[in-house]
Amino acid sequence: MYSVSAALAPSCIWGIYVFGFRALAVLLVSIVCAVLTEYLLGKINKEFTICDGSALVTGILVGMNMSPTIPLFIPAIASIFAIAVVKWTFGGLGANWANPAIAGRVFVFFSFSSVMSSFKLPRTLAAVDMVSSATPLSLVKTVLSAGESSGMTSIQILANNGYLATPFAMKVQQATGISAYNVDAFLGNIPGCIGEVSKLLLIAGGIYLLCRKIITWHIPVSYLGVYAVLTWIFGGLPFGLGFFHGEVLSNLLRGGLILGALFMATDMVTSPITHKGMLIFGAGCAFFTFLFRTFGSLPEATSVAILIMNIVTPTIDRFCIPKRFGEEVKQ
Amino acid sequence: MRLATFKKGGVHPSDMKSLSNTQPIVRFPIPSELVVSMSQHLGAPATALKAVGDHVSKGEKIGQASGFISADVHSPVDGTVTAIKKVTMANSVCCDALVITPDETQTDPFTERRDYSAMTSADLLAEIKDKGIVGLGGATFPAHVKMTISPGKAVENLVINGVECEPYLTADHRLMLEKPYEVLEGIMICRKILNPTNTIIGIEANKMDAVEVLSKAISEKGYPITVMPLKMKYPQGDEKQLLKSTINREIPSGKLPLDVGAVVVNVGTSYAIFNAIAYAKPLFERVVTVSGECINKPCNLIAPIGTKISDLIAYAGGFKTEPDKLISGGPMMGFAFFDEDTPIAKGTSGILAINDKKSYVKTACLSCGRCVAACPIGLQPTKLYALITNGRYEDAMKNNLMDCKECGCCSYSCPAHLDLVHAFKTGKKMGRKK
């Protein structure tokens, strides 16, 4: 479990760097509340489980999913809900029915929607004189639902609405043609939740976990792969661009998708136990993420998608029984 | 070169063979006392034929097979029976044992080679039975029973098991290197009995020197035997996985190799069969690997059955450091025991003194699925464990618990350090109770 915390650390450090000490405060509150809840509930149950590192991971993930400007009581509630309700009322480690961090986040998201949706400019973009502090996804959604643009890609929408990019990203765009917005999204120079912005560091953490064989490739590859395909085929529809015109790279890099696919969907307790089941699970997460993002009214869909698939996991397990060794007996 | 192996499951523990794989086989000097158990094999223990005070000669039958699945036991030394007592072997089987004090001087029979070309397969089988030959791969199934082919069944493939996939063990490896002609002649004797279409020796890729030695001997003698090097993977030495790797057949659940037209024989057993037929020598000694990080001088010894393990360890230089575990067999499927005076038996392929690298703290199952991925039979250890620890033995049996071979791949992979194999052993016992 401590390896997972280590894999998450670089992204958290970046989040603190670009969003300031407020972000550190949010992370600390989430972690402390998670570990404290685990400790106190352990005392009631006469167990001592905070050393297995799972409460720490839940706390970090809850903190990473918070906006840096959030009032501190909200991550506290999220952490406490995650540990006490999702994990302990159902039997503790190994018995939770949904990823605790995801369930905690969704709980506070629907309870405190407006503060959960207000973000802050990262240090690297604030220097560029940008106007809006909305995340790229939410800005695009607002513009689309206002019906103000048809036939424009999301990149064009961002450009039209005064979304700026860092000078470094502009240089990369000039050199390689990759949109500066995508470069910024990859590096982590966009508003968003503390831990979700730096895709680069998240992917590094994910590769570390893969090399340590803590996660297998099945869920991330299936999740991101199916999502990419769905986006490519259908993603252009809300923009009036027709089929096969979805912006795969932009959509992969935005929002909590990479964080979700690498660290939340791969939570072992709430994902299937067979490789075949994991592939189905990843595909299901991708389907729901795509559905909610593209045609839903909320900008962030990853959490709810993973939550739904967590609930479906036991059914997937029931139908994905490994093939038993041995030929059929010829009668 | 792509080497064959089985696809489903399996794990890759470090093989730890370098501790003893360069140690030539040495004859262990006759110890001061032997405790020869009547249960040296799978099946019913033999009935003791000798009483206290009787003198026995080397190779004399001292235990009579009792039942269809049973085998004779022969005295490993010239000596006197000083006691008959109950002994608990490393595999927890408790039975009678003859305590024999060896004579000062020992005879050396079984050195004259005989011409066995006139023996029919029935003669050969009878001789194998009479000489107490059992499978030396670890299961100790009586060889004459295995090689008696029921009418209507034919042996297409004779597969020789030179895999020795358990870490630390090097007895079979050294045997193949040092006695290739004898092992091959033993295989040819099996061929005469079983009349297979193909004969294949499966050897793992960490023993390429044995592959070379055997291949050379085969081409010299012109034997119709193929040597097949296999990719290293545990538990390739299990007959189910071995048949999958070599002839690509999967034994159905609850069935035997013969049901896919094959018979599997260990190289050590082939050597014992050779001795039985060519030298009329009964099975009363075998190669044992004494190894482990805690042993001063790891070695491969030919030791008589009934040797106390403490004597073997002393010969191997004693303990370098105090071991955490003493194991009879290999670390994956062997038996941990605590009484150093436990005697070895026909099935004891190795004695290991190892350290448990960390002290394992058992946590709750995380449903990570590693056990499912590792199981070579396609079971779901996590599900079986949950059923058994909750007392639902019948449901566990319905979920194919009896197919579990207790190979240990699941326990090896479990990050929560659950005692999976222990649970399955318990579950099988409880599930079979009526």
Task: Give the residue-averaged pLDDT of B407-414.
Answer: 94
**Could you tell me if A155 lies within 8 Å of chain B, comparing CB atoms?**
no
Sequence-ordered list of residues with C-beta below 8 angstroms from that of A319, at least 6 positions apart, any chain:
none
Q: Which of residues 236-295 of B touch A (CB under 8 A)?
A: 240, 244, 249-253, 255, 259-260
**Could you tell me if A322 lies within 8 Å of chain B, comparing CB atoms?**
yes
Closest by Cβ to A325, choosing from B259, B372, B377? B377
Paired tokens of B125: 């089988």
Calculate the average pLDDT of chain A.
87
Amino acid (1-letter code) at residue A188: G
**Could you tell me if A278 lies within 8 Å of chain B, comparing CB atoms?**
yes
pLDDT classification of A132: cutoffs 50, 70, 90: low
How far is it, in rounded angstroms, from Cα A176 to Cα B54?
A: 94
Q: According to the model, what pLDDT value does residue A185 have? A: 85
CB B355 within 8 A of CB B294: yes
How far is it, in rounded angstroms, from Cα B205 to Cα B203?
A: 7
pLDDT classification of A294: cutoffs 50, 70, 90: confident
| % residues pLDDT > 70 (chain B) | 99
Task: Give the residue-averaged pLDDT of B340-356.
Answer: 92
Q: Would the pLDDT of A1 be above 70?
A: yes
Q: According to the model, what pLDDT value does residue B171 have? A: 95
Residues of A in contact with B376 (CB under 8 A): 325
Query: DSSP string of B371-430?
Result: HHHH-TT---HHHHHHHHHTT-HHHHHHTTGGG-----HHHHH-TT---HHHHHHHHHHH
Q: What is the ipTM of this complex?
A: 0.84
**Could you tell me if B300 lies within 8 Å of chain A, comparing CB atoms?**
no
> What distance in Å separates residue A317's CA from the closest CA in chain B?
10
Q: Would the pLDDT of A191 be above 90?
A: no
Residues of B in contact with A322 (CB under 8 A): 8, 372, 375, 378-380
**Could you tell me if A47 lies within 8 Å of chain B, comparing CB atoms?**
no
According to the per-residue pLDDT averaged within each range, which of A149-153, A324-328, B57-61 is highest?
A: B57-61
Each residue's pLDDT tens digit, A167-183: 888 888 888 888 888 88
Q: Would the pLDDT of B63 be above 90?
A: yes
Show the 3-state SS of chain A. Answer: CHHHHHHHHHHHHHHHHHHCHHHHHHHHHHHHHHHHHHHHHHHHHCCCCHHHCHHHHHHHHHHHCCCCCCCCHHHHHHHHHHHHHHHHHHCCCCCCCCCHHHHHHHHHHHHCHHHHCCCCCCHHHHCCCCCCCCCHHHHHHHHHHCCCCCCCCHHHHHHHCCCCCCHHHHHHHHHHCCCHHHHHHHHCCCCCCCCCCCHHHHHHHHHHHHHCCCCCCHHHHHHHHHHHHHHHHHCCHHHCCCCCCCCHHHHHHCCCHHHHHHHHCCCHHHCCCCHHHHHHHHHHHHHHHHHHHHHCCCCCCHHHHHHHHHHHHHHHHHHCCCCCCCCCCCC
The pairing of strands B226-230 and B47-48 is unpaired
More confident residue, A152 or B418: B418
pTM tops 0.80, yes or no: yes
**Could you tell me if A331 lies within 8 Å of chain B, comparing CB atoms?**
no
Q: According to the model, what pLDDT value does residue A133 have? A: 73
Q: H helices of B195-253, where? A: 208-221, 239-247
Each residue's pLDDT tens digit, A216-255: 999 999 999 999 999 999 888 888 787 888 888 888 888 8
Residues of B in contact with A270 (CB under 8 A): 367
Q: According to the model, what pLDDT value does residue A182 have? A: 86
Each residue's pLDDT tens digit, A32-42: 999 999 999 88
How far is it, in rounded angstroms, from Cα A216 to Cα A119?
A: 33
Each residue's pLDDT tens digit, A9-40: 999 999 999 888 989 999 999 999 999 999 99
Calculate the average pLDDT of chain B.
93
Each residue's pLDDT tens digit, A97-130: 899 999 999 999 888 888 777 788 888 877 666 6
**Could you tell me if A21 lies within 8 Å of chain B, comparing CB atoms?**
no
